[in-house]
Structure 1
Amino acid sequence: MKLSIRGPIIPSDYQMIYDWFGIDAVSPKKVQDFLDKIDPDNKEDIILEINSGGGSVFAASEIYALLKEHPNNVIAKVLGLAASAASFLMLGANSTLMTPTAQVMIHNASSMASGDYRDMDHTSSILKNTNLAIANAYKLKTGKSHEELLSMMDNETWLTAQQAKQIGLIDEIMFDNGDLTNSIVASANTPFSDGILPQAVIDKFRNEVLGMQLPNGPGQSSQLNNVVPNQTNKIAEPQQPKEEPKNMDLETLKNDHPQLFEQVKNLGYQEGITAENKRIQDIEDLQMPGNEELINKAKFEDKMQASDLAVAIIKAEKARGTNYLNNVNKDAAIINQVPGSNAPTDQNKDAQVANALDQALNNAQLEDQNALTNALEGALK
């Protein structure tokens, strides 16, 4: 079973933040979760693979205790670096091994502090006690005195695998066939980062992204900082008082994050143009003869949505149809009041002649041709 100790050693409540960013880190909770999953009947060795620049003293101390108390045999393997807090965390294992190219670094605990001379004296006292506590772990492993170990910590001591074995800090050098006389680590004087996120980043992420308030438990800011050898240590500037989290409104966004405000504004502007163009196009699709005035008003005056305009058009069409039927019924009532008359007689000339001839033949008492002629002429007049 392998347990990886890579990246900074952090408090448990920071683990989620490092995981969210995809940064390697280890906390007591992460180690505890790993150990809790081991079946009590499983007596397999736990291989602790270490490549860490250190981190929180108290988190490392908790992991040290978890490893010491576990019933399974724990073997620590320093694959690259066990510096600062990681240098005593590894001692929680039953045995410790190093690769020939790995290094161990031990130094004093450090912290940030602010206040008057009494606060500084108090912080100094805490740091000295922390150094004594760390030296206890080194003493149990090496058998050296507190004085000698504290002196090594004062001088920030870097140890190769061979040197660490000589003072009893580790038990074995990996891949050593007995002929290794010197172990030199490449770029020993090259600065490196301990990988610990600044406290300001933790606070900002908690307050603005997760909406949580960072706990202010004792010792949260204490950590073993990895100081590069042959570098002059700078005096840390006093910490500024923490500001209360601000409610993120539009004005705060504009003042505190002007670039983000401009991005949001431009995005909103573009989305507004797209939405307005779609609204106009949807209204154009509802064009119907007789509704031109209603449609133009919806576009530019009332700023109606197409769905609302469609309802208005239906109502207008219904009203227009109702008015048309009312006008038809009104006109029909007026026509019905006009009195009727007989159909006009046939004015055809041939019909008149035929009727006159028939009447003349029936009524006249004609005895000769002249009388018939006169009757016909009379009928034709």
Structure 2
Amino acid sequence: MTTIQVPIKSDVINDKDGKMASILDFPATYPAGVNQILDAAKDNDSVEVNINSGGGDVDAASEIYSELKNASQPVTVNILGMAGSSASIIAMAGDKINIAPTARIIIHKASVSDVQGNSDDLQGLVNMLSSTDSAIANIYRDRTGQDKTAIAKMMTQTTQFNADEAVENHFADEVMFENNKAPQLTNSLNDIFSDKSVDKFYKIYKKAKQYDEIQTNREKHKKSETLTDKKRAIFMQNI
């Protein structure tokens, strides 16, 4: 039996952004990456999710939550530093949730950035955000057993739970290292990639890749010419 480690220790982003982060060797948490780890798990293995993240993309977090809930193996979540924003959604997937004495869980309502459009567009965004908040509240409600109205109020107020409060409110089951000296952990919230910067990156990356292919073909052509010249020289020496 093996314990499969799933690290959630960076921004939660979608698969497109995750592919870019992987190319650049940037730390990132995205659904395809988590799913790849879970696919390697055997039926008799266990899964341990270690979280220290300020969150990020709600849809990506929701997908990771679903992947963990659908895992056939038992899932233990360890909140080591911060389970903030959408990272707290992922945390709720654990069959057992442990939290370090210095760790925190932060819940709040969903938001959008780079908003523009007319009144109909903005009303559509309001409806989308309300629906998203309701879906997130359902996840917290199902895990904690608390009333959804109470959960919604906590999200509106942007509520932060320390370890004891998280256990008291059933967002976690147990405080880790209760009888030991716990390490001091710190973290900060970071901005995630914007769609514009991601699209710009892929354009530059495509051009760079094309340039590399051209250079490679040139090198192959040079090697071919050099080999031909050598063959000609050998032939001339032997006639």
Q: TM-score, normalised by structure 2?
A: 0.79
Q: Which residue of 2 aligns with 1:140?
A: 142
> Among 184, 196, 203, which residue is 1:207 paired with?
203
Q: Which residue of 1 aligns with 2:68?
A: 67
Q: Which residue of 1 aligns with 2:233?
A: none
Q: CA deviation at 1:195?
A: 4.3
Q: Distance in 1 between matches of 2:80 and 2:56?
A: 18
Contact 1:7 1:195 in 2 (8 A): no
Q: CA deviation at 1:114?
A: 1.2
Letter in 2 for 1:102: A
Letter in 1 for 2:112: S
Q: Which residue of 1 aligns with 2:48?
A: 47
Do structure 1's residue 15 and structure 2's residue 18 form an aligned pair?
Answer: yes
Q: Distance in 2 between matches of 1:62 and 1:128?
A: 19
Q: CA deviation at 1:82?
A: 0.5
Superposed counterparts of 1:224-263, under 5 Å: none
Letter in 1 for 2:48: I
> Among 35, 38, 50, which residue is 1:35 paired with?
38
Q: Distance in 1 between matches of 2:14 and 2:88?
A: 17
Letter in 2 for 1:193: L
RMSD (Å), alpha carbons? 2.1
Q: Distance in 2 between matches of 1:150 and 1:24?
A: 32
Higher relative contact order (CA 8 A, sep 6+): 2
Q: Distance in 1 between matches of 2:66 and 2:179?
A: 33
Q: CA deviation at 1:186?
A: 8.6
Do structure 1's residue 110 and structure 2's residue 111 form an aligned pair?
Answer: yes
Q: Which residue of 2 aligns with 1:337?
A: none
Letter in 2 for 1:33: Q
Sequence identity (%): 30
Higher fraction of strand: 2
Q: Distance in 2 between matches of 1:45 and 1:27?
A: 20
Do structure 1's residue 172 and structure 2's residue 168 form an aligned pair?
Answer: no
Do structure 1's residue 2 and structure 2's residue 8 form an aligned pair?
Answer: no
Letter in 1 for 2:18: Q
Q: Which residue of 2 aligns with 1:56?
A: 57
In structure 1, list runs of 5 or more residues that go unmatched.
212-381
In structure 2, list runs of 5 or more residues that go unmatched.
208-239
Q: Distance in 2 between matches of 1:45 and 1:39?
A: 8
Helix, strand or coil for the counterpart of 1:92?
Answer: coil
Q: Which residue of 2 aligns with 1:163?
A: 165
Q: Which residue of 1 aligns with 2:225?
A: none
Q: CA deviation at 1:196?
A: 1.2
Q: CA deviation at 1:90?
A: 0.9
Contact 2:100 2:175 in 1 (8 A): yes
Do structure 1's residue 92 and structure 2's residue 96 form an aligned pair?
Answer: no
Q: Distance in 1 between matches of 2:94 and 2:206?
A: 36
Which segments of structure 1 move beyond 3 Å, counting only runs of 4 or more? none
Contact 1:87 1:106 in 2 (8 A): yes
Aligned residues: 202
Letter in 1 for 2:100: T
Letter in 2 for 1:194: N
Helix, strand or coil for the counterpart of 1:15?
Answer: helix
Q: Distance in 2 between matches of 1:65 and 1:156?
A: 24
Q: CA deviation at 1:37?
A: 1.3
